[in-house]
Amino acid sequence: MPAPDLDRKEETKPAGIPLRIHQIRDGLTTNRLGKHIHYFREVDSTNSHARRLAEQRTPEGEVVIAESQTHGRGRLGRPWVSPPYVNLYLSVILRPTLPPIDAPQITLMAAVALAESLAAFIPVFPAIKWPNDILAGGKKLAGILTESACHGERVDFVILGIGVNINYPVESMPDAIRQRATSMLGLTGASVSRENVVRRLIQGLDRCYGELEEMGFQALAPRWEARFELRGKKVRVEMTDRIIIGTAKGIDRDGALILEDGRGELQRIVAGDVVPVGD
Ligand code: BTN
């Protein structure tokens, strides 16, 4: 008798409950987003897949969702841990009419939509950590990765990628992220319907994107500022070539962080990691 194939048995274990995409589509009442959802059990990265679609002239608003990612990406080239069937990995193709210089406003708009959407599912106020993190109870619940392609003076497309920790048990997270990350399950102690989260998020993004396109970021800025958890706090900003310590004042219209340094001068930070100092 052949020896039992233990590896094979491992592969055929129940994989988890897949997202019911029709439930998401059925409840959607959006203007531009989510009319078509490309759904995968596994992709390299939903952002990479959405980019490939966008390069083939796929229209604005199409959404890519995967149950897991083999090469999920975070900001600054970091990996995004993407276990199957517990979280949300979603990317949207946008073709905004913004000039390239205003493209970072897409991240700010998405942070507002994401924080407001997640607020409906958790008992704490989701805050925004510049530029792209959503924190709940001081820990990271979700992240945003926007990647754009420009053609001369216009934006060809923006891929808006969002990862949300939903039913991911905190105790299963790798050591390196467990200290600073959380999930809806961790916050509520109960499983959350991923379909409801996705539907509310697509609705929220559709509404906020419409406001951005029609009225500009000024229409959303007060809601962003209301969730900006570092305002007035002393922070350290780590950039590729230097570190600045100062007081976080807010953001400018391009989405840059405004910091008042030790000499009272205002510094404009376009990219970097912000860490509160002395809390
Ligand atoms: C960050 O906080 O650094 C951004 C994380 C963004 C992760 C999402 S998951 C869906 C999409 N696909 C990716 O490869 N990354 C984004």
DSSP string across 97-165: -S-GGGTTHHHHHHHHHHHHHHHTTSSS--EEETTTEEEETTEEEEEEEEEEEEETTEEEEEEEEEEE-
Question: DSSP assignment, residue 254?
Answer: T
Q: Which residue has the tokens 């396109």?
A: 213
Distance 22 CA to ligand 1 centre (A): 24
With 50 as the cut, is the pLDDT of residue 4 above it? no
Which whole number is the average pLDDT over 33-40? 97
* Binding site membership of 132 for ligand 1 (Cβ less than 6 Å): yes
The atom number, within ligand 1, closest to the CA of 45 reads 14
Give the whole-number percent of the chain exceeding pLDDT 90. Answer: 81
- Entry pTM: 0.92
Q: Are 186 and 169 in contact (CB under 8 A)?
A: yes
Give residue-wise pLDDT tens across range 64-109: 999 999 999 999 889 999 999 999 999 999 999 999 988 989 999 9
List, edge to edge, every strand of the sheet that includes 243-251. 266-269, 257-261, 243-251, 234-238, 273-276
Protein residue with least CA distance to atom 11, ligand 1? 161
Q: What pLDDT does 240 receive? A: 83
Q: Are 240 and 66 in contact (CB under 8 A)?
A: no
Distance 250 CA to ligand 1 centre (A): 24
* Binding site membership of 145 for ligand 1 (Cβ less than 6 Å): yes
Protein residue with least CA distance to atom 2, ligand 1? 143
User: Confidence class of residue 2 from pLDDT cuts 50, 70 and 90?
Assistant: very low
* Binding site membership of 68 for ligand 1 (Cβ less than 6 Å): no
